Chains A and B, each alone.
Chain A
């Protein structure tokens, strides 16, 4: 349990921060109090070793803290018990065998502090003190693992809940007609971000409860439209996706230069892409063909400003979205 992020010497910059796992984050978020064992067996400082042995045997424990009026004064481990047995000295007071040089953690410390102590000292259990120095619990590595797993499970449940909420959006919000509109501004020549809009739409649809097939059809259609804006337009354009329980309507508009011959543009293999763009693997002349295969309706026409308007629809009567059949 010593991931790189826990090392004090390492400076965490933006780059390493990216690789900090959720478990490491939780190490900082959770406090010792949240993962420790609260109900603990203790031995009284006035006990003799044979009493300690008796309790340890009955309760099947291998050690416990020693207290005086609720304050921690020592700790007895399996090793201490064995030493007293070996010396045939079980009438001795517990104070003779306990460890009184104590390593403790505070209940308010983050779990990561306790982990550092486990690692640097090699001890198996740490007494936990509150801010007034009272013994309030005990912490083992097992407690830490269980606590982290429980917190991760909680995270997971929250994510499931978010997904559930999104996928029931259209059921939970009542109106005569509900729709969700996503808009993406696409820049001309921005190959670096090519595919970002379609990727985001795919994720949004999956979150809304769409089937992977539907999300794929929709994202392929949007990808081709997105690349067309990047490759062929003067100033880029806008993709608007409207999601309703029964239909997804996609509208892509740009302001030029416009398609000279729309019939020809619809023919498989026809492309006006430049040589440079073709070298990148675009301009196969399959964009609009792919779109028409993925959507139920496609209309392409000149827009008002010498540009092009592309409208697509995917019907969801069979596919499932928003929790509705």
Chain B
């Protein structure tokens, strides 16, 4: 399942610059809003689902090397956060759905835990 299919299937809104998403295949997933837990638990090239939307999620995502961050419940990152994400090459996606819903869908699509 590549990122293009995931974005389409979950009807996610792309907040950052478009990339060749069909060529990105996330290998795992992780969900938490506590950044230290994400640091410890999220896997490289995975999808991180969170309702945090402030600038530090970009730093965490970049350090771990996640393929994309899905921000749930319509939490909106500010412009500086999006600019920072573009600079670091991190893809930010947004959805009105709650985390549990998104994780369930991802699991059904074959994205399993790290």
Contacts and interface: CB of A to CB of B under 8 A. Distances in A.
A224 B52 contact: no
Contacts of B56: 191, 194-195, 227, 280-282
A284 B36 contact: yes
Contacts of B34: 281-282, 284, 286
A48 to B, nearest CB: 55
Interface string A196-222: 101100100000000010001001100
A212 B35 CA distance: 20
Most buried by B among A196, A227, A281, A286: A281
B59 A280 contact: no
A199 B65 CA distance: 11
Contact of B40 (A227, A281, A293): A293
Given A281-B33, A284-B34, A287-B36, A223 B59 contact: yes
Contacts of B50: 281
A225 to B, nearest CB: 12
Nearest to B40: A290
Contacts of B60: 195, 223
Contact of A223 (B33, B39, B57, B88): B39
Contacts, number: 73
B3 interface: no
A192 interface: yes
Contacts of A293: 40
Interface residues of B, number: 23
B36 A198 contact: no
Interface string B43-69: 010000010101111111011110000
B66 to A, nearest CB: 12
Nearest to A223: B63
A195 B63 contact: yes
Contacts of A199: 59, 62-63, 88
Given A192-B80, A216-B64, A282 B59 contact: no
B37 A286 contact: yes
Nearest to B55: A192
Contacts of A285: 36
Contacts of A196: 59
Q: 6 tightest CB-CB pairs across the interface, nearest first?
A: A195-B59, A286-B36, A284-B34, A284-B36, A281-B35, A281-B52
Given A195-B58, A284-B34, 14 more contacts: A191-B55, A192-B55, A192-B80, A194-B55, A195-B56, A196-B59, A199-B63, A212-B44, A227-B36, A284-B36, A285-B36, A286-B36, A286-B37, A290-B40
